[in-house]
Chains A and B, each alone.
Chain A
Amino acid sequence: MTEKISLNVNGKTHVIDADPDMPLLYALRNDIGLNNPHFGCGLAQCGACTVHLDGQPIRSCITPVSSVADGKIVTLAGLGTPEKPHPLQTAYVEEEVPQCGYCINGWIMTAAAFLRDNRKPTEAQIKDALSGLKCRCGTHASILRAVKRAAVQMG
């Protein structure tokens, strides 16, 4: 059973026809055509699907599409652009963080909300905020350098 569902994504409204139980991730990727949130686990264990819902990072792979209602969804593509990059995007480029890059939505979207709410965090606070996210290529040290670099810029 599908129903019409309205989604506000990166400032635009999309009306899709979807199973209300379908995870938001599938709507973002297949119905709206965004290539940035990735399917990593479908279990909220890795973060590859992370988007912001009203400013808070959520795992779109387990979030029913019908549950977001009028919430404002922002994906990595909506966080910044080459012309107007988010400090984390700039820092990621400068630190050359990703290898495969499949994990970056989790790290950047989680860190973006954390740094917005926590100016001048300690390294331990950054690590705690990012705990649980996965990177399989082992770029952890680069990730931390980039987040610290962005923290300086945002602080």
Chain B
Amino acid sequence: MTRHDSPRNFSRRAMLKTGGALVVSIGMPISLDTVLAIGSASAQNARPPLTPDQLSSYIAVNADGSVAAFFGKMDMGQGLFVAIGQMVAEELDVPFDRVKVIMGDTATSVNQGGASGSTGIQFGGKQMRMAAAEARRVLVEMAAAKLAVPASELIVVDGVVTAKSDPAKKASYAELIGGRYFNIQLQWNKQIGNLLYAPGEAQPKPAAQHKIVGQPIKREDIAPKVFCQEDFCTDLTRPGMVHARVIRPPVAGSTPVRVDESSIANIPGAKVVLDKAFIAVVADKEWDAVKAMQQIKVDWSDATPPFPDQTALFDHIRRAPVRHAETQPKEAGNIAEAFGAAARVVEAEYEWPFQSHACMGPACAVVEIKDGQATCWSGSQKPHFVRDGVARTLGLPMDKVRAIWMVGPGSYGRNDADDCAADAAVIAKAIGKPVRLQYMREQGTGWDPKGPASIHRARAAIDASGKVTAYEFTSKGFSRIDVQTNGSQPADTLAGQLLGVPLVVNDGFGVPAESYAFDNKRMAWETIAPLLDRGSPLRSAHLRDPVGPQIHFASESFMDEVAAALNVDPVEFRLRHVKNARDIAVIKAAAEKSGWVPRPSPRRDQTGNTVSGRGMAYAQRNGTIVAIVAEVDVDRSSGRIFARKFTVAHDCGQIINPNGLTKTIEANIVQGVSRTLWEEVKFDRKNVTSVDWLTYPILDITETPQTIDVVLLNHPELPPTGAGEPSIRPVAAAIANAIFDATGVRIRRVPFSPERVKAALS
């Protein structure tokens, strides 16, 4: 059994089963009389409702004294569940290995937002910590009543409450409540998702008392994977299940006008599901469904090719009318005056392409509709929202739909998993049988929601003394929420869009997150309309650190450009202008660990074909601060970049598990290198043409950085903040700045493919 056992194996009921499911209902403050009165009155087989204001929705003590932590967020493979288990064990004073974190099933956890915005520990862990602290408080009160010892005279060690004065007076958690549910009301803030917060009366421990939090405890979910003991969502089968494949149009936006069902008549059990623009095939056997998909003859409507030439993408963004604009926060000083008075202006523009999640496998979902209830098994990182979306797609009440997460082929944001769940629901309803749908590779890469393409303009005003007097930064691009960050609304799923639901316009982008203080400063963003508003393979959505890599590639490249224009060392330039003390500490830590020797960029002492350089970039992200020094080798004749070494300084407040944190950062850097050096969604006028690993290349193992040094700055006195995304944020700029240092050439468009670098160098 793994620590994060899936609820399929480890159900709420099975866990708590015991002789008589007594509901323990405890008022506050508590007396023994109260416990007995309520306990005897409530000795029924009942449990409190699964609502955010119930302690039992987060914590339960099993009959054997082990603890179940019902977590409404998701670990997408970085070991988050270990950290959550540590936080719960710490507050409850039970050994770490007595806590099991259970996640991903709408029947066992409330909606804490799924995997979202690197808030697994920041918000999700905060709530679990408060719930565990409250559970401990309640258990100690119960022990006080049982032992007739004041709560203040009790200590808890390894789940046993003992009187300080008399070790013989003791009661274990198992004795106090094992196998029965808490019935404790929490102070819920009435939010669901990331913002859900429902503390009790208890305060969590001060960090100085932490024994489990902060330990480098290892993951236990690896062995089941390497020994093939754990099913992925792709492996699930249901009795009577059929296999489905969807059919996507050759020209984005075209719709099926005629389907020749006889074209698949020779395939056993093959059927077509056609509803408005939605088309899919099913067959009893998976390979037959694939053959039917390949073989079916569909006449498509004449649609005007919706996209510009790829070479015109950034011109399109420049020229497109601004649909929505925001300045965040409001302008400091007076930009116009400052630029008017400038002795010198440095300006630059940067470009970032559409990028694909391109998960290891295309998405898969299984949907079963039975007796007016539906169950969806999905790899989505937000199963509660999948439940909502499937319910809306099927026209069922929310409480008639259950979504169960099973590990999927990777997830880095709003990928194709939510679309697949909705598609499978539509097909299951039409066919009347359980349906397993997996997309094909070309659909996973070609039709997933994309990270938005954008341009970024930056300029700095410099006075006669060389002081930067003003800074302006404006992003313009496709909305990060052209489709929303989850599939809870049919308008945000391909199925909903193909079935004609009314669309909702959503505008979002962002601004640099840093603490550069200039007298006059303005940061803004502008969004433009999508290239195709319905059923588009270029619809844009959240991809790991949504718009963070784009924005900070530009903003941190630009800081380097200004430093170079002033002939100032890039680290020194940042330290001069960055104001936040933690930011300064992180920048210094990265520089120091990397052995940074101050000098302006570029270096001019290299000859020969291969030249090397170093670059710094830094960013904040919702309370976390990251600074990176990249060291690269540039092969001038081929244009190939080897991102040889990274030194990453990372401050995310209190560190819960340095082992998991380091590995998360390390892989984040590698994915960032991939996105910087290789990744660009290609398209022609008709459709996306990045449809596999040849047309959407990612970093190869031979290009793995030789060294990734991670420096963790721990602040136990501060709340923990996120780590899933922040460190990918400055990667592109750090590499760009290192290339400039090596060559004196500034690359302002991602990816830094060999062709582009070679062209820039020649």
Mutual binders A and B: yes
Residues of A bordering B, CB below 8 Å: 18-19, 22-23, 26, 29-30, 34-36, 38-43, 45-46, 48, 75-77, 80-82, 85, 89, 92-93, 96-104, 108, 127-128, 130-144
A77–B226 Cα distance when bound, in Å, is 8
With contacts A45-B692, A100-B360 taken as known, whether A136 is within 8 angstroms of B705 at the C-beta atoms is no
Indicate whether B269 reaches chain A with its CB closer than 8 angstroms. Answer: no
Can you add 18 more A-B contacts, CB < 8 Å, to A100-B360, A136-B412? A22-B287, A26-B285, A41-B693, A45-B441, A48-B361, A75-B228, A81-B227, A82-B223, A85-B226, A97-B222, A99-B76, A100-B359, A101-B222, A131-B700, A131-B702, A137-B410, A137-B671, A141-B666
Query: 6 closest pairs, A vs B, by CB?
Result: A99-B77, A138-B670, A138-B671, A138-B667, A100-B410, A102-B409
Chain A contacts for B704, CB-based, 8 A: 127, 140-141, 144
Chain B contacts for A18, CB-based, 8 A: 287
User: How many A-B contacts if CB must be within 8 Å?
Assistant: 167
Q: Which of B683-740 contact A (CB under 8 A)?
A: 692-694, 698-702, 704-705, 708
Residues of B bordering A, CB below 8 Å: 76-79, 218-219, 222-223, 225-232, 234-235, 285-288, 291, 358-362, 407-412, 438, 440-441, 659, 663, 666-672, 674, 692-694, 698-702, 704-705, 708
Determine the residue in chain A with the shortest Cβ distance to B357: A136
Could you tell me the dominant secondary structure of chain A's interface residues? loop
What are 9 sample pairs from A and B whose C-beta atoms fall under 8 A apart? Answer: A38-B360, A46-B360, A93-B223, A99-B78, A136-B410, A138-B670, A139-B667, A139-B670, A140-B699
The answer on a CB contact under 8 Å between B701 and A133 is yes
Determine the residue in chain A with the shortest Cβ distance to B235: A35
The answer on a CB contact under 8 Å between B409 and A38 is yes
Chain A contacts for B361, CB-based, 8 A: 38-40, 48, 102
With contacts A80-B227, A140-B699 taken as known, whether A48 is within 8 angstroms of B692 at the C-beta atoms is no
Determine the residue in chain A with the shortest Cβ distance to B441: A41
B215, chain A: closest CB distance, angstroms: 15
B661, chain A: closest CB distance, angstroms: 12
A20–B79 Cα distance when bound, in Å, is 42
Chain A contacts for B438, CB-based, 8 A: 39
**Residue in A42, A45, A130, A136 whose Cβ sees the most chain B Cβ within 10 Å:** A136
The answer on a CB contact under 8 Å between B667 and A142 is yes
The answer on a CB contact under 8 Å between B286 and A30 is yes
A112–B279 Cα distance when bound, in Å, is 42
The answer on a CB contact under 8 Å between A101 and B701 is no
The answer on a CB contact under 8 Å between A137 and B702 is no
B687, chain A: closest CB distance, angstroms: 18
The answer on a CB contact under 8 Å between B692 and A43 is yes
A4–B269 Cα distance when bound, in Å, is 20
Determine the residue in chain A with the shortest Cβ distance to B675: A138
With contacts A142-B663, A143-B701 taken as known, whether A89 is within 8 angstroms of B693 at the C-beta atoms is no
A75–B666 Cα distance when bound, in Å, is 29
**Residue in B227, B362, B409, B700 whose Cβ sees the most chain A Cβ within 10 Å:** B227
**Residue in B231, B409, B692, B705 whose Cβ sees the most chain A Cβ within 10 Å:** B409
The answer on a CB contact under 8 Å between B702 and A128 is yes
**Residue in A22, A100, A143 whose Cβ sees the most chain B Cβ within 10 Å:** A100
With contacts A30-B285, A40-B409, A100-B410 taken as known, whether A89 is within 8 angstroms of B226 at the C-beta atoms is yes
A42–B701 Cα distance when bound, in Å, is 21
A135–B704 Cα distance when bound, in Å, is 11
The answer on a CB contact under 8 Å between A98 and B667 is no
Determine the residue in chain B with the shortest Cβ distance to A142: B663
A76–B223 Cα distance when bound, in Å, is 12
B136, chain A: closest CB distance, angstroms: 30
Chain A contacts for B409, CB-based, 8 A: 38, 40, 48, 100, 102
Chain A contacts for B672, CB-based, 8 A: 138
A82, chain B: closest CB distance, angstroms: 5
Determine the residue in chain A with the shortest Cβ distance to B78: A99
With contacts A34-B228, A35-B231 taken as known, whether A141 is within 8 angstroms of B441 at the C-beta atoms is no
Chain B contacts for A22, CB-based, 8 A: 287
Chain B contacts for A75, CB-based, 8 A: 228
Q: Name B225's contact: one of A26, A104, A127 (CB within 8 Å).
A: A104
A96–B694 Cα distance when bound, in Å, is 29
A62, chain B: closest CB distance, angstroms: 12
A82–B361 Cα distance when bound, in Å, is 26
The answer on a CB contact under 8 Å between A140 and B670 is yes
A81, chain B: closest CB distance, angstroms: 6
With contacts A30-B286, A39-B438, A141-B708 taken as known, whether A93 is within 8 angstroms of B698 at the C-beta atoms is no
Chain A contacts for B705, CB-based, 8 A: 141
Chain B contacts for A41, CB-based, 8 A: 441, 692-693
A39–B360 Cα distance when bound, in Å, is 9
The answer on a CB contact under 8 Å between A140 and B701 is yes
A82–B663 Cα distance when bound, in Å, is 24
Determine the residue in chain B with the shortest Cβ distance to A139: B667
A98–B362 Cα distance when bound, in Å, is 18
A7, chain B: closest CB distance, angstroms: 15
Chain B contacts for A137, CB-based, 8 A: 77, 360, 410, 667, 671
A71, chain B: closest CB distance, angstroms: 20
The answer on a CB contact under 8 Å between B698 and A136 is yes
The answer on a CB contact under 8 Å between A93 and B226 is yes
A141–B232 Cα distance when bound, in Å, is 24
A48–B234 Cα distance when bound, in Å, is 13
Chain B contacts for A46, CB-based, 8 A: 360, 693
B2, chain A: closest CB distance, angstroms: 12
Chain A contacts for B412, CB-based, 8 A: 136
Determine the residue in chain A with the shortest Cβ distance to B668: A138
B734, chain A: closest CB distance, angstroms: 16
Chain B contacts for A141, CB-based, 8 A: 666-667, 670, 704-705, 708
B245, chain A: closest CB distance, angstroms: 11
A134–B701 Cα distance when bound, in Å, is 8
The answer on a CB contact under 8 Å between B77 and A101 is yes
The answer on a CB contact under 8 Å between A40 and B360 is yes
